[in-house]
Structure 1
Amino acid sequence: MTCAKARAAVSALLDGESVDDRPAVSAHLAACPDCVGWRARAETVGLRMRGAFDDVPDLTTAVLSAATERERRDAVRRRAQVAGRRRVLRWAVGVAAVVQLTLAIPALLTAAGVTDLAAVHTSREMASFDIAVAVGFLLAAVRPERARAFVPVAVVLAACLGMTSMLDVASGLTGIVDEAGHLVALVQAGLLWALGRVPVDTSTSTRPVTT
């Protein structure tokens, strides 16, 4: 057996591999001091390499912890952004509802300066409707998770008011300035739709879960 073949076999043995002609390898090493020295140096290098790898710290836990912490910070930042957007929309919806109540309640309770009884009756009916809608908006502002339920009502109301306003203006029954107030319904519908799209954070909810 040549030195090259013997050293290849020795390298395989040091790596834990099997060698077919192991007796021949042993016989060659017994008669070749150079290959014996080569094996000793190879064993030393192998031990050093294994020792170097043994000294490498296991960073798995640290890396996973860092990734988890980053995800946690990102989640906290996203929740803060969503909470801020939801807070602004809740205030906007609530203010719109209060304004609507402020305008509707006097119309419901008084009829000063109006001599047409039919007009008074119609005005009070509209005021009652406005108050009911305003209460719904207030509830959506207080409980934003229920805003989605009011969106169809607000959208249909805004669409109907917009359509009737255009028909009345086109027919000359009223003026554009008189119908401009109906834009409030459109704004309210938009605010309510935006509030309904903001996800509600239930991570801190203390309400018991029923099954």
Structure 2
Amino acid sequence: MTHAPVPCTECRERVSARLDGEDDPFPAVDAHLQGCPDCRAFADRAATVTRLARTGTAQPGPDLVASVLTAATGMRPVERRRRAGVAVRAGLGMVGAGQIALAAAGVLGAAIAGTGEMHMGGASAEHFAHESAAWNLAIGVGFAAVALGRSRLVAGLVPVIGAFVGVLAVLSVVDLIAGRVDPVRLLAHLLLVVGLVLLLLHRRVLRDDGGRAVAPPRFGPVLPDTVLPWSGPVAGPGAVAHADRPSGRREAA
């Protein structure tokens, strides 16, 4: 049985299809290979290349060790910042408790001492003690609130407590030199100094925004002002190919 001859181009295409795993039972190709040395040489070269491509050694993949180590190293500062934030808040909680205790002690001390007969500026010494206790209580509540997670209060507490500590430090030095205050009494003011330092650390370590307004997040990416393939006459190669091809609706029409 004879078969119609095939040209060299078709023969080589069918040889390539066989090497790619396609089932091509076309006896005329085998007959052409037996009589055409060029196509037979092409088939041998193609078979060699295919065999090398399938049995060649695998190329080494990218080394991900450095990337993993870099990512792990980048996580360490975050973990340190988190632990530092926990420590700062714990310290603020203790300072707040100390300030509240000072307020309670001031009220009780004024009641026990009975200094109601001493007046100055239209108020008794007991009332001045109550004012001081109220201030200590307010400061203690502020410290405790930040310790419990109200970080936005830091922006308001820092300037108020900073100004108070600065003025109190100057007046305390003057009173100490003049002998109007016991040095032991001044030790109670160290709580305010410690609290102010912790507030500053809180703002620095936790990078608090201080209550400032931030821009609302954008919903979706910001795209450049370019003409998309489906929005205008300018289109990419794929869109041009589809544009040249008539749609099924038009064929049906």
TM-score with structure 1 length normalisation?
0.61
Note the 1:112-191 alignment, pairs <5 A: 112-116=112-116, 118-143=124-149, 145-146=151-152, 148-149=154-155, 150-191=157-198
CA contact (8 A) 1:145 1:200 kept: no
Q: 1:79 is matched with which residue?
A: 78
Residues 144 and 78 of structure 1: CA distance in aligned 2, closer, same or farther (over 3 Å):
farther
Q: Which has the higher helix share?
A: 1
CA contact (8 A) 1:107 1:123 kept: yes
Unaligned runs of 5+ in 1: 1-46, 202-208
Note the 1:1-211 alignment, pairs <5 A: 55=57, 57-60=59-62, 63=63, 65-108=64-107, 111-116=111-116, 118-143=124-149, 145-146=151-152, 148-149=154-155, 150-199=157-206
Residues 147 and 58 of structure 1: CA distance in aligned 2, closer, same or farther (over 3 Å):
farther
1:92 to partner: Cα distance: 0.8
Number of aligned residue pairs: give it: 151
The 3-state SS of whatever aligns with 1:182 is helix
- For 2:112 and 2:168, locate their aligned partners in 1 and report how far apart those are by CA, in whole Å: 26
CA contact (8 A) 1:147 1:196 kept: no
Alignment deviations for residues 28-57 of structure 1 (CA, whole Å, 9 cap, x no partner): xxxxxxxxxxxxxxxxxxx9xxx9xx7461
- For 2:150 and 2:77, locate their aligned partners in 1 and report how far apart those are by CA, in whole Å: 18
The 3-state SS of whatever aligns with 1:74 is helix
CA contact (8 A) 1:147 1:192 kept: no
TM-score with structure 2 length normalisation?
0.52
- For 2:79 and 2:57, locate their aligned partners in 1 and report how far apart those are by CA, in whole Å: 43
Unaligned runs of 5+ in 2: 1-48, 118-123, 209-215, 219-253
CA contact (8 A) 1:144 1:196 kept: no
Q: 2:31 is matched with which residue?
A: none
1:146 to partner: Cα distance: 2.6
Q: 1:40 is matched with which residue?
A: none
CA contact (8 A) 1:90 1:195 kept: yes
The 3-state SS of whatever aligns with 2:112 is coil
Q: Specify which structure has the bigger relative contact order, considering alpha-carbon pairs within 8 angstroms and separated by 6 or more residues.
A: 1
